[in-house]
Amino acid sequence: MQWRNSSNRYGFISVVLHWLVALAVFALFGLGLWMTDLTYYSEWYRTAPALHKSIGITVFALMLLRVFWRLLTPAPAPISTHSSVVRLLSHVGHGLLYIGIFTVLLSGYLISTAEGRGISVFGLFEIPALLSGLPDQADVAGAVHFYVAWGLVVFAVLHGLAAVKHHVLDRDDTLKRMLGCAPKP
Amino acid sequence: MIKKTLAAFVLGSVLSSGTALAADYVIDQEGQHAFVNFKISHLGYSWLYGTFKDFDGTFSYDETQPEASKVNVTLRTASLDSNHAERDKHLRSADFLNTSKYPKATFTSTKVVSTGEGTADISGDLTLNGVTKEVVINAYFIGQGNDPWGGYRAGFEGKTTLKLVDFGIKTSLGPASESVELTLAVEGVRQ
């Protein structure tokens, strides 16, 4: 598989970044819901949030890389059989997914840093608090984090179902392309 | 001229004698000479301290009649701060103080019993987390006198201990952490 994207297929970097972020989005969502219900004496009470934040920061780095890479090697052209409506919907949908992911990442960051404390990443280094002390920062960011995360996950499921629909019903290369497969000759 | 001076003198003496009798004080929130702190055991191994940053109140005090003293304090529960954003968010949530539903906590004294030289038990109604219960604050008088800026100040400190479950806080923090000590340390400026 090629590294870079080309006009008709995704390269290795884009494919890997896509699936890593997809995995992380669902994992973080489940972890987030689970960890906020832990009791004080659970052995995960401290480790689960630490893991959630560390993975979140990692995803933020991956997303920055993803945007950078997308600018460097633009995504391939839409599949020729896609109608203009499908093209428009997928453009808007992908845009919303990016916005949703960044919103959840940033709001999560703003919860933990609301009182000026940084975020430790796997105990290796710390991301400093850049914005703290806004009025009700942790609570507002917390509400945004919760509801946008739900929206994002629902939207990501629709995104996945759309890909399956293209694969099964339309029998086109949409899903295969995201797995790095070469286009049909 | 004489009339005016006389009027001012009479008015002035009425006002000053009025304040001397009532001895009403406003808690110096503006100058931040007042604290509502809480302290709770962490696992039985250490003390966790926090504070409520936003509150105001009044008290009246006359050292010749300490039992006629009164205290009123209102605080914004969401202003709690234990120097840890995630913990504070959790403490504001429905697991603890439910500050969006119960944004205010109040204490209104009902009875003051002198317990010694400069000490008193202040009974009153504490409303916290939507629950109103009588608590007793063990208070002591710290000092009073003129301040350097033309005012007159008096200060107290009082402590009381609450069981979390008594105020509808059911989240368990373990057997060593079932109650919290509240400290009210205030300086009032005489009005």
pLDDT surpasses 80 at B14: no
State residue A107's pLDDT score: 98
Which of B89, B91, B100 is the mutation pick for testing A, counting most A CBs within 10 A?
A: B89
The answer to whether residue B4 sits within a structural domain is no
What are the C-alpha distances in Å from B54 to residues B26, B29, B160?
A: 15, 8, 19
For chain A, the residues whose C-beta falls within 8 A of a C-beta of chain B are: 39-41, 49, 111-117, 132, 136-139, 142
Other CB atoms closer than 10 Å to residue B1's CB: what's the count?
Answer: 5
**Is A40 within 8 Å of B92 when comparing Cβ atoms?**
no
Nearest by CB to B172, from A39, A117, A142: name it.
A39
The answer to whether residue B12 sits within a structural domain is no
Beta-carbon pairs below 8 A across chains A and B: 37
Average pLDDT over residues B110-137: 96
Exposure b/e, A65-89, CB count within 10 A at least 16 = b = ebeebeeebeebeebeebeeebeee
Rounded distance between C-alpha atoms, residue B68 and residue B26, angstroms: 16
Smallest Cα distance from B44 to chain A, Å: 13
Residues pairing with B72 in the sheet: B58, B108
pLDDT surpasses 80 at B15: no
Where on the phi/psi map is residue A61: left (φ > 0), alpha (ψ -120 to 50), or beta? alpha
pLDDT surpasses 80 at B87: yes
Per-residue pLDDT band at B56 (split at 50, 70, 90): very high
Q: Please report, as a single letter, which amino acid is at residue B65.
A: Q
Nearest by CB to B78, from A114, A136, A142: name it.
A136
CATH topology of domain A12-178: Fumarate Reductase Cytochrome B subunit (1.20.950)
A136 vs B contacts (CB less than 8 Å): 78
Smallest Cα distance from A31 to chain B, Å: 16
Q: Please report, as a single letter, which amino acid is at residue A61.
A: A
State residue A8's pLDDT score: 86
Whether the CB-CB separation of A60 and A104 falls below 8 Å is answered with: no
Domain span at B181: 23-190
Closest Cα to residue A63, out of A120, A103, A116, A107?
A103
The answer to whether residue B78 sits within a structural domain is yes
Rounded distance between C-alpha atoms, residue B76 and residue B102, angstroms: 9
pLDDT surpasses 90 at B85: yes
Nearest CA in chain B to A110: B85
What are the C-alpha distances in Å from A183 to residues A176, A179, B16?
A: 8, 11, 93
State residue B9's pLDDT score: 46
Percent of chain B with pLDDT over 70: 88
Strand B119-128 versus strand B131-146 pairing type:
antiparallel
Check which CATH number belongs to the domain holding B48 and give it: 2.40.128.110
DSSP code per residue over B81-139 = E-S-HHHHHHHHSTTTT-TTT--EEEEEEEEEEEEETTEEEEEEEEEETTEEEEEEEEE
Other CB atoms closer than 10 Å to residue A108's CB: what's the count?
Answer: 26
Smallest Cα distance from B17 to chain A, Å: 43
The answer to whether residue B14 sits within a structural domain is no
The answer to whether residue B8 sits within a structural domain is no
As a residue count, chain A comes to 185
DSSP B47: E
The answer to whether residue B118 sits within a structural domain is yes
C-alpha distance across the termini of chain B, in Å? 29
Which of A139, A140, A144, A146 is the mutation pick for testing B, counting most B CBs within 10 A?
A: A139
Rounded distance between C-alpha atoms, residue A103 and residue A100, angstroms: 5
Query: In which element (H, E) is residue B26 found?
Result: strand B24-27
**Is B88 within 8 Å of A113 when comparing Cβ atoms?**
no
Q: Chain centroid to CA A90: how far?
A: 16
Per-residue pLDDT band at B19 (split at 50, 70, 90): very low
Percent of chain B with pLDDT over 90: 83
Nearest by CB to B86, from A40, A111, A136: name it.
A111
pLDDT surpasses 60 at A58: yes
Smallest Cα distance from B91 to chain A, Å: 11
Q: State pTM to two decimals.
A: 0.85
A132 vs B contacts (CB less than 8 Å): 85
Count: domains in chain B:
1
The answer to whether residue B1 sits within a structural domain is no
State residue B11's pLDDT score: 44
pLDDT surpasses 60 at A176: yes
**Is A113 within 8 Å of B171 when comparing Cβ atoms?**
no
Other CB atoms closer than 10 Å to residue B7's CB: what's the count?
Answer: 10
**Is B85 within 8 Å of A112 when comparing Cβ atoms?**
yes
3-class DSSP state for residue B6? helix
Average pLDDT over residues A145-167: 97
Whether the CB-CB separation of B169 and B130 falls below 8 Å is answered with: no
